A and B are shown apart, each in its own frame.
Chain A
Amino acid sequence: MPNKWMVTAAVIGMLVLSLLLPAPALAHGVNIQYSSDIEITIVAKYDSGEPMAGAQVAVYAPDDPSTPWLTGACDDEGRFSFTPDTSIPGTWDVQVRLAGHGGMVHIPVGEDSTASSGGVGGYSYLQLGLMAACVIWGSIGTAFYFRRRRQA
């Protein structure tokens, strides 16, 4: 019996020790982190193929179509990159203008626009909550109904 206790104590001691002792450093270890952000790059050119170098860019997020979320300028090749906030899903609009001419491109980001209204399957969270309340209410009512019949 004492042997059993001793074995148990030894096992626990080893476990505790293994947790307390520092792990050996690995000389060739790597630390890889990732980000799920997406970078969007647009390339703006005239119909002739000439890049819209230095063109003004305004990026509009789906939750505020009136105010630019970001402004900037295209590089010499007509390129402009930005990383949208993926917590604002929907269509992001990018306006490019230069010397009296311009255009817009519309870029879908994240879930579709129905999700952006804050709900599931086209219902708002309030509606979903009320529907759940209906189901619970119905279940309680049914339970009471059968309980009463059994008592009778």
Chain B
Amino acid sequence: MRKKAIFIAMPLLILVMVLAGCPGGKAAGTLEFYANGEDFVRQGFVSKDGWSIQFDHVYITLADIAAYQTDPPYDPQSGSDISGKHTVSLNGAYTIDLAEGGTDASPILVGKVSDVPVGHYNALAFNMARAESGPAAGYSLVMIGTAEKGGQTVEFNIKVEEECEYQCGEYVGDERKGIVAEDGTADLEMTFHFDHIFGSGDLPLDDELNLGAIGFEPFAGSAHVEDVLDMSEMHLGHVGEGHCHCGCQ
């Protein structure tokens, strides 16, 4: 009787051990979301048409921020929606001043989410949405500053109403981002390239970036922003140096 019990109990015990070895643990970490206007915003730059631009404030409102673990990795060139086996959402809308801090300021922490599944968050989506309140109320992007060229100084306050959706793949930069280890913290970055709007005086006029940028000259006159600025053509939102699929309206 005792032997019979052992014969029954042992395979059951082994079965339990096998099942216990199956994946499905609760390994988790923290994911932080940053916004970065890069040195263009913090230090200023010269536009493709020779205007030296300095920013006092660059208010951008970000909403519907979500990170994904995608396999196969999401390709922003496809233009399709992102679907991942794990999705981490940062709820709410956030108005950020990308010009905040000094010339060497770090990227700005937008928010963080704790207890997220470990793994590589290799896709990111976010919206540039109209702010409901605050210094940029009614606008998705407000750029305030000074531009100088040939002794002429222009104080600008450029307000953009268009809202844009950005769907991006993996962050591209000096280091890989978004790899969450157990009990660890990883970060992702929404990066905004303002030389895509104003162009760069460091590049030839026939460079592809300058061909797509409108420069500062239109803003020096009396032109309305909506007449000269089509945000879907500007490709402002990036992940580091990586491009995103963009749709604006």
Chain A residues with a Cβ under 8 A of chain B: 46-48, 50, 60, 65-66, 91, 93, 95, 97, 100-104, 106, 113, 124, 126-127, 130-131, 133-134, 137-138, 141
Least CB distance from A147 to B in Å reads 13
Are A127 and B21 CB-contacts (below 8 A) given A66-B179, A103-B172, A106-B73? yes
* Bound complex: CA A17 to CA B242 (Å): 72
Q: Judge whether A103 and B73 touch: CB under 8 Å.
A: no
Q: Which residues on A sit within 8 Å (CB–CB) of B193?
A: 100
Least CB distance from B231 to A in Å reads 18
Number of interface residues of B (CB under 8 A): 26
Q: Which residues on A sit within 8 Å (CB–CB) of B243?
A: 101, 103
B40's nearest neighbour on chain A, judged by CB, is A100
Q: Judge whether B241 and A100 touch: CB under 8 Å.
A: yes
Least CB distance from B17 to A in Å reads 6
B8's nearest neighbour on chain A, judged by CB, is A141
Write out, one digit per residue, whether chain B residues 188-218 have a CB within 8 A of any chain A CB (1) or not (0): 0000010000000000000010000000000
Q: Judge whether B208 and A133 touch: CB under 8 Å.
A: no
Instruction: Choose among B120, B172, B176, B208 the residue that contacts A48 (Cβ–Cβ < 8 A).
Output: B208
Q: Judge whether A66 and B176 touch: CB under 8 Å.
A: yes
Q: Judge whether A46 and B208 touch: CB under 8 Å.
A: yes
Q: Judge whether B21 and A134 touch: CB under 8 Å.
A: no
Least CB distance from A44 to B in Å reads 12
Write out, one digit per residue, whether chain B residues 3-23 have a CB within 8 A of any chain A CB (1) or not (0): 000010011001101100110
* Bound complex: CA A7 to CA B71 (Å): 72
A145's nearest neighbour on chain B, judged by CB, is B7
